[in-house]
Chains A and B, each alone.
Chain A
């Protein structure tokens, strides 16, 4: 009888092992595989009325931000930058905006920034930004709303569009009354120009951001590949922002 029981249990045991072995061959995809293609993030100021803007001015160089160097001292080589600037300009023209001869004549200011190596966390704040680099960092997602996490990535091409009508002494900075705690807490936020705390100076001339795009994943060594990915990303950023259009003049 003992032998009979042993044989009877052998079959289900082998079947169970076979099922477990089959299931064990399954390998779920790795979460990091989602970074293999470029990522395009866009965000807007929900209060902005894009229909009222008619003209824009694109800053003629692409600044490069690297945590290991003094900020604002390096720019993307013109041969690469020009393709990115042209792509951005053409997309805005396609949306009905007209290029202005200078920033003083423009309704919108446009700047491209390449974040080459930025690893620190920074503040998450409502976004006021223009020529004065009070903030050397940009929140990756949701630059217009409150948030409680900040994650930085390197190799990201960022495009800012700011409302130049807010420029001038009659337009005081509208800093948020409360700023979230920097994350992670042990990271020392680099001090911004005009400030020793990393926070923008309240006397600075700040401009209100109305649109943001971030193209992550352009950090490949080949310049042509970077440009190709970045220009594709710029096109995608406009494509996924159908609201970014002006009323007919």
Chain B
């Protein structure tokens, strides 16, 4: 029994000494700052007073052993870290760029349209009565293809004009109304693949319907024309936050070359400013 107690005390004392040696080795293990400084001196370790740094000798003492020098017959081991380490704080955090490929974005917005071309002789005023819905699919981080539908209404009182009608003519102030509806395909190229503002340029092509109506006194003349449409666009997408929608500002030129009405309109062109919001 006594021998068993003695053996236990002996083992316990041996383990205690080994644990103390292990603690000392951990305390003296090189830290990041230690490695950055190019010395094996440990960083300030808690309450343990560290001796003041001694001035560097003018020439290395030849007799001083170097712990970094490999033993004879061995090559030098690679450094633990190639690049200098920075301080791991939120200021130096750079988010990983996520691929947008395959993602789908949807936008809707209000459109202000300026009529251009011959339709300006029919309805000349800038119209805020426009609406657009747009869906984009990202091919990669800088190219998006999509489809959109938009509606725009123009209303204008035209100066007193003579209109020729069948077997006669009407001279009157005309109350003119034009409504356009379009479905088009979009292709946008984003100049930047990431950033607080994403500018882009693009092309579009599709089809458009335009309903023209002109009221002179009790006479109402109307027609609906169908045409191919094409044009270009430029704009910016502004992500408003990590979990917030994306603001869209889009400037678009549209040309529908085959929409005619009353000899006044030979084509419909417009410049539209879209202010939208999406995801």
Contacts and interface: CB of A to CB of B under 8 A. Distances in A.
Contact of B174 (A7, A23, A34, A151): A34
B168 A33 contact: no
A142 B55 CA distance: 112
B268 to A, nearest CB: 19
Interface string A10-50: 01100110011011001011010111110111111110000
Given A16-B277, A142-B168, A144-B167, A36 B173 contact: yes
A35 B247 contact: no
Interface string A76-97: 0000000000000000000000
A174 interface: no
A9 B168 contact: no
Interface residues of A, number: 42
Given A15-B247, A37-B173, A43 B241 contact: no
Nearest to B110: A19
B275 A8 contact: no
Given A34-B173, A40-B170, A40-B172, A9 B244 contact: yes
Contact of A34 (B127, B168, B215): B215
Task: Name, among B129, B167, B172, the residue most crowded by chain A CB atoms within 10 Å (CB to CB).
Answer: B167
A212 B168 CA distance: 9
B157 interface: yes
B241 A8 contact: yes
B244 A236 contact: no
A45 B175 CA distance: 28
A62 to B, nearest CB: 21
DSSP majority for the B interface? Answer: strand
Interface in B193-225: 215-219
Contact of B169 (A5, A216, A240): A240
A129 interface: no
B173 A5 contact: no
Interface residues of B, number: 35
B94 interface: no
B104 interface: no
Interface in B172-197: 172-175
A37 B172 contact: yes
A240 to B, nearest CB: 4
Contacts of A35: 173, 217
Interface string B100-126: 000000000110100000000000000
A34 B244 contact: no
A141 B110 CA distance: 40
B184 to A, nearest CB: 22
Contacts of A11: 240, 244, 247
Contact of A43 (B156, B168, B247): B168
A31 B213 CA distance: 12
A142 B170 CA distance: 11
Contacts of B170: 39-42, 141
B171 A142 contact: no
A40 B172 CA distance: 7
B59 to A, nearest CB: 59
B36 interface: no
Interface in A44-64: 44-46
B128 A26 contact: yes
Contact of A240 (B110, B128, B162, B173): B162
B265 interface: no
A23 to B, nearest CB: 4
A43 B157 contact: no
13 contacts: A8-B243, A28-B129, A29-B156, A31-B175, A34-B157, A34-B173, A37-B160, A39-B216, A43-B167, A44-B167, A141-B168, A153-B217, A236-B162
Nearest first, the 3 A-B pairs at minimum CB distance are: A8-B244, A8-B241, A43-B168
Interface of A: 4-5, 7-9, 11-12, 15-16, 19-20, 22-23, 26, 28-29, 31, 33-37, 39-46, 140-142, 144-145, 151, 153, 212, 216, 236, 240-241
Given A8-B241, A12-B277, A241-B169, 18 more contacts: A4-B242, A8-B243, A11-B247, A12-B244, A12-B247, A15-B275, A23-B112, A26-B128, A29-B157, A31-B175, A36-B173, A39-B171, A40-B171, A41-B170, A140-B217, A142-B167, A216-B217, A236-B162
